Amino acid sequence: MIPITRATLPPFDSLENEVRELFATGIITNHQSVQKLENVLQEYLGVKHAIALSSCTSGMMLVMKALGLQGEVIVPSFTFSASGHAILWNGLTPRFVEINPETYTINVQEVEKAINSKTSAILAVHIFGCPAPANELEELAQKYNLKLIFDAAHALGSKINTTFVGNFGDAEIFSCSPTKLMVTGEGGIVTTNNDELARKVRIGRTYGDPGDYNCEFPGLSARMSEFNALLGLQSLKMLESNIEKRNQLTQLYKEHLSSLPGIQFQAVPLQLRTTYKDFAILLNPKEFGMSRDLLAEELHQQGIQIKKYFCPPLHLQKAYAHFLPQYLQQLKATEQLAQNILSLPLYSHMPEQEVFFITKIIKEIYQKIKSEKGA
């Protein structure tokens, strides 16, 4: 079976001495390696604060808590569940909006239409690593006095022109779980240029305790351990070359698939750099001659693991079904995308032969249905 993805791990030897030293210090969580990881990330991204936590989800929960949000948060429905869950855990209401059907990121015009007297923030997502339209969203947030947060789980190393993702809005939150670009095992990073927000997130990861056990607010237990940070420091050294490799592998996929009718790819505007956390194809079932689900089934039977990211979209998931119908109205572009998208295997150390093999299988499937239909 070719897996949908694999963590690209640093060589074990690169960690051996450091784990030994860590044992000698005896302090195994939220200490010098976590601080070092934060410092290296601040420098790499050019951002004032990077705060390491237990996950991207806990990071989003804490950022929303620290910003004191109330009422509604505008969020795309085409995203991973955690973007919405962080809103729910803060007792806030998600106001789902459409995506741009070309880039799959949040649709700025639809965001503006969704703003009302209850709106307190926008949570945008850099889908598959492709940056959301951050400059336009910053203008909107300023115009309507809203907070702006980015779920940057996929986008460590992504850029808008020369600016790294991590510098936009009030805060951005990265994930370092094993399917993401920089791997710490489990983990998340909050970045912000706002000193007070950074202070609150730092104490928020330790129950909300500023150090005197007189908690300012109900925080979480969401620290990063030293082991995770050591892995992250080594993983970060490979980040730039991993992004390059993913872009090359994606290019190869596109070259081999573009001759087939009914297959489209995520559009990544020229001024953006994406990490290709995922590579997805968008199927036009009529032109290709087969539904997404049937193609998925065929690929699975040939030993190719696929994922239907993000299907079902959030507004159709059980966890959101209790919201009033006006919060769950039909989102045509989102539903169309969720129904026809298919992520193919991609990981940073993937051999090119696997791309050749997968694209060959897809071509064979297409030829087979074409000849069956012709017969």
The position carrying tokens 């990544």 is 268
Q: How far is the CB of 25 from ligand PLP (least distance, A)?
A: 26
263 vs 337, which CB is nearer to ligand PLP?
A: 337
Sign of CA dihedral 125, 131, 133, 138: positive
Rounded-to-integer distance, Cα 77 and Cα 311, Å: 10
Closest CA relative to residue 160, chosen from 168, 149, 152, 171: 168
Judged by CB under 6 A, which stretch of 18-26, 54-62, 220-228, 340-348 contacts ligand PLP? 54-62
The residue assigned the tokens 């639809």 is 110
- The distance between the two most distant Cα atoms of the chain, rounded to a whole number of Å, is 78
CB of 373 to ligand PLP, least distance (A): 37
Cα 126 from Cα 116, distance rounded (Å): 24
Closer of 171 and 257 to ligand PLP (Cβ): 171
Total number of residues that touch ligand PLP (CB under 6 A): 14
Nearer residue to ligand PLP within complex by CB, 343 or 359: 343
Answer yes or no whether residue 250 interacts with ligand PLP by CB under 6 A. no
Nearer to ligand PLP, 59 or 208 (CB): 59
Closer by beta carbon to ligand PLP, 153 or else 283 = 153
d(CA 65, CA 92): 10
- Shortest gap between Cβ of 152 and ligand PLP (angstroms)? 8
Hunting for tokens 């969720």 — which residue is that?
338
* Residue 89 neighbours by CB under 8 Å, 6+ apart: 61
- DSSP letter at 68 equals T
| Residues of this chain, 265-294, that bind ligand PLP according to CB under 6 A | none
Binding residues among 81-120 for ligand PLP as defined by CB under 6 A: 82-83
Residue ranges in contact with ligand PLP by CB under 6 A: 55-57, 79-80, 82-83, 125, 151, 153-154, 175, 177, 188
